[in-house]
A = this chain, B = another copy of it.
Amino acid sequence: MQIVKDYGPITGESIAEKLNLTRATLRPDLAILTMAGYLEARPRVGYFYTGKTGKQLFADKMKKMKVEDYQSIPVVVNENVSVYDAIVTMFLEDVGTLFVVDDESLLAGVLSRKDLLRASLGKQELTAIPVNIIMTRMPNIAVCYKDDPLIDVAEQLIEKQIDAMPVVRKTEKGYEVIGRITKTNITKAFVSLAKED
Residues of A within 8 A of B (CB): 1-2, 19-21, 25-26, 28-29, 32, 36, 54-55, 57-59, 62-63, 84, 87, 90-91, 96, 113-114, 116-118, 120-121, 126, 151, 154-155, 157-158, 163, 182-184, 186-191, 193-197
Contacts and interface: CB of A to CB of B under 8 A. Distances in A.
Give the 6 A-B residue pairs with the shortest CB-CB distance, closest first. A183-B183, A120-B120, A62-B194, A113-B113, A186-B187, A190-B190
A170 B156 CA distance: 36
Given A21-B2, A113-B113, A186-B183, A191 B155 contact: yes
A149 to B, nearest CB: 9
Contacts of A193: 58, 62, 193
Contacts of A25: 2
Contacts of A186: 183, 186-187, 190
A184 B116 CA distance: 20
23 contacts: A1-B29, A1-B32, A2-B21, A54-B54, A55-B197, A58-B194, A84-B121, A87-B117, A87-B121, A91-B114, A96-B113, A113-B117, A117-B117, A117-B120, A121-B126, A154-B191, A155-B191, A158-B184, A183-B184, A183-B187, A186-B187, A187-B187, A193-B193
Nearest to A88: B121
A137 B145 CA distance: 40
Of listed A25, A194, A195, residue having the most chain B CB within 10 A? A194
Contacts of A26: 2
A54 B29 contact: no
A107 B116 CA distance: 28
Contacts of A59: 194-196
Nearest to A151: B194
B187 A157 contact: yes
